[in-house]
Structure 1
């Protein structure tokens, strides 16, 4: 491995995951000695990377000179931190991990003062009760929604009745107690709301409904809002209430 490639891979390793990272651990990851890592860290610092730490303690990438600085107002930065920390609390495992990684990448691209502000932010998000964990691979559902592909799954409603559904997934909504899918249900031929923790055996079909998702979601939200106004405690879930499927 050339030293240039190793320096690049070392920067990648420092960007990923929480710090500090020891020279021994980095060396094992890159297949070199800890002494080589110390020399490479010194080279990266000479090139402009701001890397905190020392031998025996570990290293943390503070500012990444390979990425352009990002311009945020302090309040904008606090809003981003709060939003990402909220995702860590309510998102499915893949999404929560992605939010943590996004925070680390953001810190590496900010100027030193704002990077420090992000690291020691005064805002935090905490949920004493987490949403019910999903029983499907939510990443597959998100991808199918973006790709506008129909999905099928088993579903158990609030009364315990189980059906098999094939739907056009339109969007996901994260509530306090659960996450729901807004979809066009082919069985009911209508808009339906499905709780992810009641879904099972998710399958992505080969049936595309592109390019209709955006328009269908807009129409679905209009219909859901209208039902909510007519039946404020029925058709559409309140932010602090358990979501319920409409007229199912």
Structure 2
């Protein structure tokens, strides 16, 4: 790891972890020695970062000179905090970590009054049971979706039946209590939703379906909307 990347990682850690952050906690997060942590703290201070604290007491990032302040309305800030906290709770591991990092960056760029508001926001996202852990690399699936790359995987449905699927991934949606892949299924020649915790052995096929993702997703959403309206109408008729 070069020095620039190491300093960046150290700054990110100071933003993310609850203050004061001990030198040992920084060692555990970054994987460098205590001596390197002390040198890098001094280097960051020399670059303009205001870091309070010293050896034995922990460090607190007071002001990050590399980031200009951001201006948000109070309601905008509450919305951002709520959204990021929700992602931290329900997102896949990579997204949950990214949400925590984004909150730390946001805190570093806010004026002092709004930093306090972020830390003590009245809105929060809590869930007493986390969604099932995905059995695939969700980051790779997101990349394939953006790239409009056809993927294949093994799948086990709710009845325990297993099959190999090849699909065009359209979107990943948190639905009810699980993450779902919305896709066009080559096997069924129809739209299908797959639970990520029931997928494994994800692979790229080398094929792509560009530029069809957006129109396919729009068509799928219209079908789901029509189906939901029909069910609601049926319930109203039965009532």
Question: What is the aligned residue count?
Answer: 226
The answer on whether the counterparts of 2:24 and 2:34 sit within 8 Å (CA) in structure 1 is no
**Cα drift, residue 84 of structure 1:** 0.7
TM-score when scaled to structure 1?
A: 0.80
Q: 2:55 aligned with 1:52, yes or no?
A: no
1-side partners of 2:114 and 2:139: how far apart? 32
**Cα drift, residue 149 of structure 1:** 0.3
Aligned to 1:111: 111
State the SS of the aligned residue for 2:150: strand
Q: 2:129 aligned with 1:129, yes or no?
A: yes
CA distance 1:41–1:24, change in 2 (3 Å):
farther
**Cα drift, residue 56 of structure 1:** 2.1
CA distance 1:190–1:105, change in 2 (3 Å):
same
2-side partners of 1:227 and 1:76: how far apart? 34
Give the alignment partner of residue 10 of structure 2, picking from 10, 13, 20: 13
1-side partners of 2:5 and 2:194: how far apart? 45
2-side partners of 1:52 and 1:123: how far apart? 29
State the SS of the aligned residue for 2:122: coil
The answer on whether the counterparts of 1:85 and 1:125 sit within 8 Å (CA) in structure 2 is yes
The answer on whether the counterparts of 2:23 and 2:34 sit within 8 Å (CA) in structure 1 is no
State the SS of the aligned residue for 2:176: coil
Q: How does 1:189-228 map to 2 (within 5 A)?
A: 189-228=189-228
State the SS of the aligned residue for 1:29: coil
The answer on whether the counterparts of 1:52 and 1:61 sit within 8 Å (CA) in structure 2 is yes
**Structure 1, unaligned runs of 5 or more:** 234-248
**Cα drift, residue 171 of structure 1:** 0.3
The answer on whether the counterparts of 1:67 and 1:109 sit within 8 Å (CA) in structure 2 is yes
Q: What is the RMSD computed on CA atoms of the aligned residues?
A: 2.6
2-side partners of 1:148 and 1:224: how far apart? 21
State the SS of the aligned residue for 1:146: helix
By percentage of residues, which structure has more helix? 2
CA distance 1:156–1:60, change in 2 (3 Å):
same
Aligned to 1:150: 150
CA distance 1:39–1:196, change in 2 (3 Å):
closer
The answer on whether the counterparts of 1:170 and 1:181 sit within 8 Å (CA) in structure 2 is yes
The answer on whether the counterparts of 1:86 and 1:125 sit within 8 Å (CA) in structure 2 is yes
